[in-house]
Amino acid sequence: MKRMILALLIATVMTLPGLVLAAASHDHGSMHDMKGMDHGAMKMDDSMKMDAAMLMLPEQTVAGITAMVHMNNIKADMAKMGKQDTHHFMVMFKDAAGKSIEAQVAAVKIVDPSGKESEAIDLPSMQGHSGANIILAAPGAYTFKVAAKLPGEKKVQYEFKTTLK
Listed by start position, the domains of the chain span 46-164
Q: Which CATH superfamily is domain 46-164 in?
A: Domain of unknown function DUF4426 (2.60.40.3340)
Q: pLDDT tens digits, residue range 131-144?
A: 999 999 999 999 99
DSSP, collapsed to helix, strand or coil, labels residue 106 as strand
Instruction: Categorise residue 10: left if φ over 0, alpha if ψ from -120 to 50, beta otherwise.
Output: alpha
Residue 39, pLDDT score: 39
Chain mean position to CA 93: 11
Residue 8, pLDDT score: 53
- pTM score above 0.85: no
Question: Residues of the chain whose pLDDT is less than 50?
Answer: 9, 13, 16, 19-51
